[in-house]
Copies of this chain bind each other. A is one copy, B any other.
């Protein structure tokens, strides 16, 4: 067994897991890498491979991704290509990893020119989420997870959206019962959507709500915006786009924005990010096909627009309008 963690999680939980596994008589190793999205690279993967090779880690090994979304993506991709694929287990320690990133088998590293550009589809054997580990999660990262939960609710499950609205205070205090309900409900949306659509041909595209512009914002900000923060702003912008396209009622867009703001998430494009920079990043993103940009948009709370196509094409001109509009909503 090879446990893969970033330096911080390795220190917090890695040693304990390592000792537990060894106590069970399993030959286990802990290999770590420097913390942060900027290390989700081919170079980090190569260094982990060098470690595995020196350990003589064979086809009969199992990799455990212990950590947040970066660790899951990186360790999952490591497992996907090691000996052409060895099994791996997701052990998410961050909220976003628990309810989103650890489920569905999408693994990847970033390229200097685009996020998740190089990767694979490799489903974990199992996902073990210990919500106790959320206690040590920095606030910005916890909130980033909330953005993904709001997304699942807004596009696919109104009851989840209402659960977050109703139990907002308890969730923000990381009350154990409220958090477990949140994780189970959101993970269920993710699992339902991805099962039967592992390769993102159809329904899975729904999960891109807020992500088409979110990824572009994240990239254009040089990753100063965290993923969840960028997705929060992306949802606000894409909801407005849906309103302008006549797909969504303005009241629902405003309800989404209000909840995100109350959760402490950013809802406006940071100064200094030009519409053109964001548009150009969105065009390069893998969700663009033949240069056209598609969106997963809600048509009401918990229900997507676009019918069986799942996504809606919006011409660049109208995307640019949304990106350059003054902040209209209170």
What is A's interface to B at a CB cutoff of 8 Å?
A: 42, 46, 49-50, 53-54, 56, 58-60, 77, 80-85, 106, 108, 111-114, 116-121, 199-200, 284, 286, 288-290
Q: How near does chain B come to A103, taking the closest CB pair, in angstroms?
A: 16
Distance between A100 CB and nearest chain B CB, rounded to angstroms: 17
Q: Which residues of chain B come closer than 8 Å to A119, judged between CB atoms? A: 81, 83-84
Residues of B within 8 A of A120 (CB): 80-81, 84-85, 120
* Min CB–CB distance A28 → chain B (angstroms): 15
Contacts of A290 in B (CB 8 A): 58, 60
Residues of B within 8 A of A77 (CB): 81
The CA of A80 and the CA of B200, in the complex, are separated in Å by: 15
Q: A54-B113, A84-B106, A108-B84 are in contact. Are A289 and B60 (CB under 8 A)?
A: yes
Known: A53-B117, A60-B290, A83-B286. 8 other contacts (CB 8 A): A42-B49, A53-B111, A53-B113, A58-B286, A59-B286, A81-B81, A81-B118, A84-B120
Interface contact B85-A121, CB-CB below 8 Å: yes
Can you list 20 contacts pairing A with B, beta carbon distance less than 8 Å? A42-B46, A42-B49, A49-B117, A49-B118, A53-B111, A53-B113, A56-B284, A58-B286, A58-B288, A77-B81, A80-B120, A81-B81, A81-B118, A81-B120, A82-B118, A83-B119, A84-B116, A84-B119, A84-B120, A85-B121
B84 touches A289 (CB 8 A): no
A199 and B200 CA atoms in complex are apart in Å by 22
**9 nearest interchain CB pairs?**
A53-B113, A84-B119, A83-B286, A81-B118, A59-B286, A60-B289, A42-B46, A53-B111, A84-B120
Q: Which residues of chain B are within 8 angstroms of A288 by Cβ–Cβ distance? A: 58
Which residue in chain B gives the minimum CB-CB distance to A284?
Answer: B56
Q: Are A84 and B121 in contact (CB under 8 A)?
A: yes
Copies of this chain? 2
Interchain nearest-CB distance for A192 vs B (Å): 21
Q: Are A58 and B289 in contact (CB under 8 A)?
A: yes
Give A300 to B5 CA distance when docked, in angstroms.
50
CA separation between A317 and B84, bound complex, in Å? 29
| Cα(A223)–Cα(B130), bound, Å | 48
A199 / chain B contacts, CB cutoff of 8 Å: 85
Q: Is the CB of B49 within 8 A of A111?
A: yes
Q: Chain B contacts of A85 at CB under 8 A?
A: 120-121, 199
Given A49-B111, A111-B49, A284-B56, is A117 in contact with B83 using a C-beta cutoff of 8 Å? yes
Instruction: List the B side residues contacting A84 at CB < 8 Å.
Output: 106, 108, 116, 119-121, 200
- In whole angstroms, what is the CA distance A111 to B45 when docked? 12
Q: Which of A83, A114, A116, A290 has most chain B Cβ within 10 Å?
A: A83
A126 to B220, CA, bound (A): 38
In the complex the two chains form, what is the Cα distance from A106 to B83 in whole Å?
11
Complex-state Cα separation, A59 to B114, whole angstroms: 13
Contacting residues, chain B, for A56 (C-beta < 8 A):
284
Residues of chain B contacted by A83 (CB below 8 angstroms): 117, 119, 286
The residue on B at minimum CB distance from A106 is B84
